[in-house]
Amino acid sequence: MSELALRRWVPSAGRLRAGYRRRRVARSWLATVSWTVVLAFVLTAAFGPLLVSADPNRQTPDALLPLGAPGHLLGTDDLGRDLLARMVYGARPLLLVALLATALAAVLGITVGLVAGFAGRWTEWLLMRLMDLALAFPSMLLIVLVVVATAPGVSSLVVGIGISLAPGLARLARALTAREARRDYVLAARLGGTSTPRILVQEVLPNIAGPLVAQTVMTLSVAAGFGAGLSYLGLGIQPPTPDWGYMVQAGQEFLYLAPHLVLLPAGATLLFVVAGNFVGDDLRDALDPRAAR
């Protein structure tokens, strides 16, 4: 094959491979719907407050208005506050807590897993026993202990959720790293004098990034569920900041009189958690080279 023909062939092959990978994401109607839901929630949290003119904390005499009331599309709560504005504004703190907690869990868990899987022996045993100790506590109990030990708020919520979710990512990263540590390219890098941190970051991590990204996305949805649950218990985001978990807690008193006060925030939280799990599954199948074709 001539050099000119080779230049023409290589880009076309690259485009075919890229197109094949793009088709593997959102490859079913369920995955497409899940991606759409997650994207809609993210856009709502990012830009929704710019499009809603009502003040989510402004109290009016129009309490417990039903759905479709004039000037209040989703009605009002027991204090006359516009429910649509509170739903839109409540998405931002929940997703912010979920993102920060997931980032903390990823940094802690993946770092521990990389070191444990690559070092082996006593280092692996010690680090993984610490992860097993954290897994011995129910996640919600561990988060509550961290929050109560500090003070209810966003920072303590992020730390508690991040610590509770890190062991799952650590175990996955450790298993993937231990498998890659026996590969020829790692041995070649060692023989070439490459330092261990550089091998982990430049050689091992890119080859295990696919499953880790998928698991991290699934962890994001779990973190959102924990954040809403702690806010429901009064240990998360504090009023008057709109938050879906606290809105469920505040609205349950009027469950029979105005069920939408509970159903709307609870349904939105459940929808995001379920859609996030399906997105994680879709990413795992698309990014893992050993997944079934």
* Distance, CA of 93 to CA of 56 (rounded, Å): 13
- What residue ranges do the domains of the chain occupy? 28-48+68-287
Please write down the long-range contacts of 24-29, taking CB distance under 8 Å and 24 or more positions apart: 24/285, 24/286, 25/282, 25/283, 25/286, 26/282, 27/282, 27/285, 27/286, 28/282
C-alpha to C-alpha distance for 182 and 118, rounded to whole angstroms: 9
What is the pLDDT confidence band of residue 292, given thresholds at 50, 70 and 90? very low
Instruction: Look at the block and give the residue holding tokens 């802690």.
Output: 108
Residue 22, pLDDT > 80, answer no
Q: Can you give the pTM of this predicted structure?
A: 0.83
Task: Indicate whether 23 pLDDT > 90.
Answer: no
Q: Is the pLDDT of residue 15 over 70?
A: no
CB-based contact 163:102 (threshold 8 Å)? no
Contact 190, 246 (CB under 8 A): no
Residue 14 clears pLDDT 60, i.e. is over it: no
Given this model, what pLDDT does residue 145 score? 85
What is the pLDDT confidence band of residue 3, given thresholds at 50, 70 and 90? Answer: very low
- In this model, does residue 11 exceed pLDDT 50? no
Q: Which two tokens stand for residue 191?
A: 């023989």
pLDDT for 290 equals 55
Check whether 19 has a pLDDT greater than 50.
no
Q: Can you give the pLDDT at residue 288? A: 64
**Residue 57, by phi and psi: left (phi above 0), alpha (psi -120 to 50) or beta?**
alpha
Decide if pLDDT at 235 tops 80: yes
71: part of which helix (H) or strand (E)? Answer: none
Q: What pLDDT band is residue 41 in, cutting at 50, 70 and 90?
A: very high
Distance from C-alpha of 92 to C-alpha of 30, rounded to nearest angstrom: 25
Share of the chain above pLDDT 90, in %: 35
pLDDT, tens digit, 9 for 90 and up, residues 206-220: 888 888 998 999 999
How many helices (H) and strands (E) the chain has is answered by 11, 0
Superfamily of domain 28-48+68-287: MetI-like (1.10.3720.10)
Please report the sign of the dihedral spanned by the C-alpha atoms of residue 91, residue 224, residue 103, residue 147.
positive
- Residue 97 CB neighbour total at 10 angstroms: 27
**Higher per-residue pLDDT: 185 or 87:** 87
